[in-house]
A and B are shown apart, each in its own frame.
Chain A
Amino acid sequence: MMKILVCISNVPDTTTKITFTNNNTQFNTNGVQFILNPYDEIALARAIELTDGGNGTVTVINVGEAGTEPTIRKALAIGATDAVRVNALPHDAWFVAKQIAEYAKQNAFDLILTGRESIDYNGAKVAGMIGELLDIPSVSVIKKLDLKGNEATVEREIEGGKEILSIPLPFVAGTAEGVAEPKIPNMRGIMSARTKPLLVIEPVAVTINLEVTAYETPAPRGQVKLVSADETAKLVDLLHTEAKVI
């Protein structure tokens, strides 16, 4: 029986316009819809496929306060077996990785999946940190994951190509597009999600080493300079003499 742990984040919907409050020191959550991190959906989908037909269990774990429970319930509706919520604000990747590693130490898992990164802080650090804390291999951005017994074959993205690796269980991997198609919960899933176990545990103490002190949005660009479809030579000239990029 395969035991898979999928780490999930509660993040602003991809269509969110990002703004800040308190003199640009806080993310403005006013009116923001939160969703299951899209990369984590891929991790969850693959975990469900790998344990299909009663071949194992999928536990989802989230570090968050009670407000993240709708996202956790969504993961259960998609098909996770059970869920754990570490009752704390996810301060940063290090804090989150420590909580998850602590839980994983007490509940041996064959495979730990995360999304390649969360779409809010884009750290891509949690998988590597958990791997180091548990002293098991970690792979940062994978495009494919297949299992044969205790041996996995994964494709890792590199600049301009991929690496194919063979890794024995257990290990940690960050999933990207290609690993699986995200699953949409069906009515039965949504109904059963209400009664699936959701364990709430308290966080362990962590020495924090990173603080976000300010935010800013990219500087606005000037007015667009339009050229007509018959003036492509003028555009090339502008790119050369004015923008100096070719």
Chain B
Amino acid sequence: MPVLVYTENAGGKFKKSIFEVVSYARAIADELKTTLTAISIGDVKADELATLGKYGADKILNVSNAKLKSFVNQAYASVVAEAAKSEGADIVVLSNSFSGRGLAPRIGVKLDAGVADGAVSLPDLSGGKFSIKKTAFSGKAFATVELTSAKKVIALTPNSYKVVDKGTAAKVEDFSVDVKESDFKAMLKEIVQSTDKVSLPDAEIVVSGGRGLKGPENWGMIEELANLLGGATACSKPVSDAGWRPHSEHVGQTGIAVSPNLYIAIGISGAIQHLAGISRSKVIVVINKDPEAPFFKVADYGIVGDAFDVVPKLIEAVKAYKATA
């Protein structure tokens, strides 16, 4: 019985987080000595579909039904569940993206499967069990959950599994499925892309500003640094509460949890709620004029200094580095 991986696309393209889920699902399939089937729904061109083969999909089911061109949570959940049934897959893997978070619980109910959301590790199969580590308490802890049902759904946290290019190829098959009319009640009207740059949940580098920046007019240097590094901008809760930055940039316990390779915190003191949202960052740099700021206790690198003095200098240093790199 193969493992099934749902590979969501954004505008016909797969993002890095999708190559991560395919690589992750491949590793599970290897562990279980079985094959990996991917399912793609919507308008994705053949050469883009073929990239999934590189990361270990043996077969790709392509659903190109015109009605399923744009994401409809209920209908997509039905399609993935039907694919799992027709493939005989007991394990369904998907990204814990915004869309994935909508799909996983519905697929779980349809398949009578336990759902491990926010997974950050491969399943531990020792002792005939099926246990997965997931984030809990908004980044303040991890929980290991054991799925005791015959079928399982796993939603993988972005940036928690490496992309493994196997250099393999997959065959693409058309997959058609009848979806009931009542699954199409929600209608997509418009997609508004707020950034043409890398989005915060996907970003490998995040430059984040706090109240120490004194006002929204001072975000130019935050954006410049983020742009230079190819990263995304973020902020602390007081900043989004004050309306300096949109809520979608609020990182912390009641905002977005991020897990970038590099998190640069500028003028953020490091309240426990903020630290919860960034605890899975690989490397943390803190710039703060207060040497007693709690953020320094969890930082890897730090500069004690005023943001208005340090950040322009840091921008110059990054420019100099880029010029020689």
Contact = CB atoms under 8 A, between A and B. Distances in A.
A177 B102 contact: no
Contact of B145 (A132, A137, A213): A213
Contact of B282 (A20, A177, A245): A245
Contacts of B309: 229
A171 B186 CA distance: 9
A125 B273 CA distance: 22
Given A123-B117, A209-B114, A232-B310, A163 B190 contact: yes
A12 to B, nearest CB: 7
A210 B115 contact: yes
Contacts of B239: none
A89 interface: no
A239 B225 CA distance: 14
Contact of B303 (A139, A211, A226): A226
A231 B304 CA distance: 11
Given A15-B273, A125-B117, A210-B116, A224 B300 contact: yes
B192 A209 contact: no
A31 interface: no
B65 to A, nearest CB: 19
Chain A contact surface mostly: mixed
B142 A215 contact: yes
B280 A218 contact: yes
Nearest to B96: A124
Contact of B201 (A129, A137, A159, A233): A159
A243 interface: yes
A120 B186 contact: no
A239 B283 contact: yes
Interface string A213-227: 111111001101111
Interface string B189-201: 1111111011111
Contacts of A237: 321
A125 B192 contact: no
Contacts of A15: 272-273
What range describes how many residues of B lie at the interface? 35 or more
Contacts of A243: 262, 282-283, 300-301
Given A140-B73, A168-B185, A212 B144 contact: yes
Given A128-B106, A239-B283, A139 B186 contact: yes
Interface residues of A, number: 84
B74 interface: yes
B279 A218 contact: yes
Contacts of A202: none
A230 B313 contact: yes
A124 B144 CA distance: 17
A230 B303 CA distance: 9
B261 interface: yes
Contacts of A178: 247
A38 B5 CA distance: 33
Interface of B: 10, 15, 71, 73-74, 77, 97-99, 101-106, 108-110, 112-118, 131, 133, 135-149, 182, 185-195, 197-202, 205, 229, 240, 247-248, 250, 253-255, 257, 261-262, 272-273, 279-280, 282-286, 296-306, 309-310, 313-314, 316-318, 320-321, 325
Interface of A: 12, 14-18, 20, 38-39, 93-94, 97, 119-129, 131-133, 135-141, 143, 153, 156-168, 171, 176-178, 208-218, 221-222, 224-233, 235-240, 243, 245-246
Given A122-B137, A210-B146, 10 more contacts: A123-B117, A128-B105, A132-B105, A139-B186, A160-B198, A161-B192, A164-B189, A165-B186, A233-B317, A245-B261
